[in-house]
Amino acid sequence: MSSRTALGLVILLGLLFLGFGCFCPLAPPTASDNPLSGGRSANSDYADQVLACQSSCSSQSPGAYGKLANGSCTCSCSSGYVRVRNSCMPLVEYVRQAPAVCNDSCRQSRPHSEGRMLRGACTCRCEQGYRAYNQSCVGEQEMQSLAPQLCPAGYPVLKYYDWEYKGAANSLYLCYPDRKAPEAENRTGRHDYWNFVADPYSNESVWAVTNLLLNISQRQNLSSNERLELAIAFVQSLPYTFDNATSPYDDYPRYPSETIYADGGDCEDTSILMAAIFERMGYGTVLLGLPHHVAVGVACNPASFNYKVVAYPYRGRDYCYLETTGENFRIGQLPDDLNYTSDTGVEIIPLRDPAPDLYVRRYSYAVTYETSSSASIRVGPARIDNYGPITAKNVKITAALEADENGQVWDRQSYPIGEMPSRSYYNYSASDLRVPVGKPFRIAITVSGDNFQTVVSRTGWAQWR
C-alpha cells in the first residue's frame, strides 16, 4: 500500500471518530526562562519546544506526532495510522478490528447502543428493544411513559420508529387508542396481495406514515429519488419477524396497518407495506413473487443508475427489484442468495383495483340417516370469509355431491346470501344431500357472485358403504 493510498484511507476512516489531542500551551521563550548565562537564541528555544511537543505526543500513543502552532502542541496520527478515541491505531490493525472498535466506541458514547461498519463508516444505533430519542436509547417501558406528552387524550399507546438515511437520524411516531393490533383476526390461507396493499382499513395508519415521510422529505429538501430512498430506509429498518412471533396467526400476509403496529414482519409483510407507501407517494409499483420470497418492483429506468441493477419488464415499463427485509439494499440490488431474472420464475403481481377476496374454510360432513338405496349427507358448517377490501355482491353458495371429475353431481343445494361486506363472514350448512349407497362422491362448495372470481373448495373422494 502506498503512503498516498494509506493516507486516503486514514482520512476516510478516521473521520468517523472523535479526534484526540493534547493541547499543551507553551509559553513563548523569554530570556528569564533560559537557565544558561548569556541566554540562547529564540530559534533554539523554539526547537526545544517542538521536540518536547513531539516527545509528548509519541509518549501518549505510538504512531502519533506533535505539531506546534501558536504556542500550542497538537497531537495527530502519522500516515498509516487511524485516530481511535485517545490513541493512534495502525491502519491494518484498524481494518481488522474496525467492527469491534466501532461497536465499543458507540457503546461508550451512548448506553444501550451498538455500532456497525457500513461501507467503511461506523454507524451507531440503539440495540434491539431500544429506540433513539433525544440523543439517548430509550427502552419500551420508558418510551411508553412519554405517551401522555406526545399523544392526544384517548390514545395511550405510543409506537415510535427511528432509522437513518444518508447518515442522518430520522424518527416518527404514531398513537393508538389501545394495545390490540389493528385488524388482527383469525384467518388462514393465502390471499390476493394487491387487496392487502389497497386495504381501506389500513388507510389511516399508512397515510399517517406516508405524510410523515413526506414532511421529513420537505424539511430536508429531498429530491423525488431521495424521497423514495427515505421511505425504503424506513421499511428496511423494521425488524424481520415471523408472523407467529408478533401475532397468534402463522404464515399469513399482514395488512399494512398490522405491520406498522407490530414494528416489523416477514418478506411479504414488509413488501406489502412498502408497496402501499409507494402507491400513496405516486411511484409505479408491483409486487414480485419468487419461490419462498416476496419483494417489491418499483418503476425505474435501468440505464439511469451508475451501477448494474436487476429489473423486470412488465407492460412497457421496467420495474427494479427492491429488497425490504434487510438494511442498505439499494434499488435493483438482489441479495446474494437470490439470482432471478425475468425468465427464471419471477411472478409480476400488479396492484390491480381492489376486489372481494372470498375464502372457504375447512368443513366437515356427516351421514344423518340412510335407506337401503341412499344416504343423507349434512355438510358444514362451512365458514365463508370475505378478506377483500370491498363488498362482494350477489353472493351465492352451492353445496354439491360430485359424482365424477366431469361435473356430474348426485345432489346439490344453492343458497343466495346477497352482499358480503369487507371483513365479514357467513356460516353455511346444507342438509339432506342424497348419495346412492356404494357410489363414490366428494363434496364441493362453490361461492359465486358478480364482482369476484368464483371460489370452489372440494374434499377428497369418499364412499358410503
**Is the pLDDT higher at 245 or at 407?**
407
Q: What string of DSSP letters covers 88-122? A: EEEHHHHHHHHHHHHHHHHHHHSTTEEEEEETTEE
- Strand spans (E) along 41-167: 64-69, 72-77, 81-84, 87-90, 113-118, 121-126, 130-133, 136-139, 157-165
Average pLDDT rounded to a whole number, residues 4-11: 38
Distance CA 300, CA 211 (A): 23
Give the start-to-end residue ranges of the domains of the chain. 3-94, 221-350, 358-463
CATH architecture of 358-463: Sandwich (2.60)
Contact (Cβ atoms closer than 8 angstroms) between residue 446 and residue 454: yes
3-state secondary structure of 258: helix
Least confident range from 241-250, 310-319, 438-447: namely 241-250
Q: What is the pTM of this model?
A: 0.62
Hey, what amino acid is at 83? R
Distance CA 388, CA 385 (A): 9
Distance CA 302, CA 320 (A): 7
Helices within 237-381 (DSSP H only): 243-246, 256-262, 267-281
> Averaging pLDDT over each range in 55-64, 199-208, 249-258, 454-463, which range is the top one?
454-463
pLDDT at 86: 73
Mean pLDDT of the chain: 81
CA angle 294, 297, 298 (to 5 degrees): 150
Distance CA 377, CA 364 (A): 10
**Is the pLDDT higher at 109 or at 88?**
88
**Is the pLDDT higher at 6 or at 360?**
360
What distances in angstroms separate CA 118 from CA 13, 88, 254, 328, one per listed residue? 11, 22, 30, 8
CATH number attached to the domain at 221-350: 3.10.620
